[in-house]
Structure 1
Amino acid sequence: MAAILAAGAGLHPARNAAAAPMPRVAAAGWAGAQTLLALGVVPLALPEIARYRALVAEPPLPESVQELGLRSEPNLELLTALAPHLIVADAGSVTSPLARIAPVATFAPLRPGRRPAEAAREATLALAARLGRDAEAQSLIAAHEARLAGAAERLSGDRGGPLCLVSDAFGNRALVFGGNSLYQDVLDRVGLRNAFTGATSAWGHATVGLDQLAALDPTTRLVLLTSRVPDARTFLALRPLWRTLPFLREERVTVLADILFYGGLPSADRFARLLAERLAPGNAARG
């Protein structure tokens, strides 16, 4: 866990948290912000708040959180004025300017060589330990397990084909999610299959052509993870080249709202819930 969250001066360890005030925390990325909120810690500030509310959505962001500018260029003057005790940055962020303001914890729910669900749990526990929120982290993980079990029960009667998870489409290509994604871990837990078994990036996704999509299992169902279109008909109208694909011709398409694919346990919970709401027998919906 030390590799996930480097120790920073000026913070009390978890065992002394009861005797110390809760640190003032700013979030420099959305994945860390999600988990802070799930642990009951409201960040002082967050970049691109409007986009978080539109594209990430859960947990909801309180109005008290201040706008920090762009994720790639956070407002360092505002951060300095807020005087946080800790800044939580997402993996891959440039942290050296932040570290001149306060200790930085890098939240990394996706790590090479580790299953995303396992890495997300470890990252959550490590962040909670830095904030003295160990009990909250255990409750969060228990609730996460219960939600996955509930989704699995609701989907137990599903008899449809495997799913092809697409979050973006451009021309004759698509961004699909495969075996080392957080989505795959959820599919495994709720008893659904992923139609795409090809190689993916460290983030769990790959860019593929329509020929590769057409070659998937003929019973494949398409799941669009996007807020850009409200339904499959709109999607087709914007991308006529896709009409030849079997799952579109036969209307085996479900549109889900956006989900932060690197967001850790809150994202996994959101994906499992939305899948169960749309695909569970008796209330399955297309488009």
Structure 2
Amino acid sequence: MSLTRRRALTGLALLPAALCGSSLVGAADAVVPTAVTQAAPKVDIVSFEPALTESLLGLGVVPRAVVNAGFYREFVAQPSLPDDVIDLGPSIEPNLEYLQRLAPGLIIGTSWQLEGTLLQRIAPLRTFDIYAANAQPYRNAGQVLLDLGALVDRRAQAQALLEQTDQLLESLRARLSSFKDRPVYIARLNPDGRHLLLFGAKGMYQAVLDRLGLRNAYQGRTNAWGGSPAVGIETLLEHPDAAFLYYTNPREAVAAQRRLDSSPIWRALPMIREGRIRALPRFYPSGGLLTAQRLALSITEQLLAMEADHA
């Protein structure tokens, strides 16, 4: 029986349209692999999830194909995805005919991407969930890394990367001890100039803040990956003493900044008037352990820069 796109995609959903970036603090401590060579060994795996692709590349192996390579390169970026990895197209409509011809040894993704689909008629499926009901993404990301390491015969590398990440975040926590009593907002600026996407409970941003010994100023409700996408900027008045870390989608940055600059509420915020605001690179909020590393490094860099400016 032939496999149609519509039937195979039953149960699949859109990947969160969220963003990522990178930064370094104490570069000697950083263990993020940033480049994977074209000669790195390939595994006969197709990845449907950027966080899993990130983890495989961090272990020094390259998937044979991925869904939406462009999304990975723009929103995850590191470790870099080699040019010769096959791109199966967008996550909402991957090229299933091509996938059938590839006949991969394994397809990996999250439960919500793979369960309830007919992709099992093409290849065996295995699911890995970082953003699960237990809301412990950092711990889950570490376990997923170990599980993938066992799957691709990189157990020692996975264990070493997990330990290095724990040590890195612990060392950054010590450097941020002066911020333990100052709440921190992390947000994406929306182009309307009136709302923010604030990051809170359940997501990797919250997990990293916890590991760094920092208090998240935002305690409102969030979705499964820790975002609350349409919060009014007046919410920032709840913690006027907070530090404000943000990023903006490049295509929206000019419009967002122009509208915020004309907002009386924004201009009146103590954190804005007193310069307790710093920009972060873009990060993929549904990323894995390497995303957590880069996020922690960038948060530390910006908060220490803020402290130096007010010394």
> How far 1:281 sits from its partner (Å)?
5.2
**SS of alignment partner, residue 250 of structure 2:** coil
> How far 1:90 sits from its partner (Å)?
3.1
**CA displacement, residues 110-162 of structure 1 (integer Å, 9 cap, x when unaligned):** 11124211222222222333333222221121121122123223333447832
Partner residue in 1 for 2:64? 44
**Identity score, percent:** 36
> How far 1:224 sits from its partner (Å)?
0.9
> Residues 131-146 of structure 1: matches in 2 within 5 Å?
131-146=152-167
Q: Structure 2: where are the runs of 5+ without partners?
A: 1-40
Partner residue in 2 for 1:152? 173
Residue identity matched to 1:121: G
> How far 1:94 sits from its partner (Å)?
4.4
Residue identity matched to 1:214: L
Residue identity matched to 1:51: F
Q: Does 1:174 find its partner at 2:215?
A: no
Q: Does 1:258 find its partner at 2:282?
A: yes
Q: Does 1:123 find its partner at 2:147?
A: no
Partner residue in 1 for 2:297? 273
Partner residue in 2 for 1:204? 226
User: Residues 38 and 275 (structure 1 numbering): CA distance in 2 closer, same or farther, change over 3 Å?
Assistant: same
- Partners of 1:131 and 1:150 in 2: CA distance: 30
Query: TM-score scaled to structure 2, two decimals?
Result: 0.75
> Residues 187-198 of structure 1: matches in 2 within 5 Å?
187-198=209-220
Partner residue in 2 for 1:10? none
- Compare 148-157 and 134-143 and name the one that shifted more: 148-157
> How far 1:23 sits from its partner (Å)?
4.5
| Alpha-carbon RMSD | 2.8
1:214 to 224, 227, 237: 237
1:30 to 36, 40, 50: 50
- Partners of 1:205 and 1:258 in 2: CA distance: 14
- Partners of 2:251 and 2:183 in 1: CA distance: 22
Query: TM-score scaled to structure 1, two decimals?
Result: 0.81
> How far 1:268 sits from its partner (Å)?
0.7
User: Residues 230 and 60 (structure 1 numbering): CA distance in 2 closer, same or farther, change over 3 Å?
Assistant: farther
**SS of alignment partner, residue 286 of structure 2:** coil
Partner residue in 2 for 1:11? none
> How far 1:42 sits from its partner (Å)?
0.5
Partner residue in 1 for 2:100? 80
- Partners of 2:137 and 2:78 in 1: CA distance: 19
- Partners of 1:159 and 1:127 in 2: CA distance: 35
> How far 1:82 sits from its partner (Å)?
2.5
- Partners of 2:307 and 2:108 in 1: CA distance: 39
Contact persistence 1:157–1:280 (CA under 8 A) = no
Contact persistence 1:218–1:246 (CA under 8 A) = yes
User: Residues 227 and 22 (structure 1 numbering): CA distance in 2 closer, same or farther, change over 3 Å?
Assistant: closer
Q: Aligned pairs, how many? A: 264
1:183 to 195, 200, 205: 205
**SS of alignment partner, residue 74 of structure 1:** coil
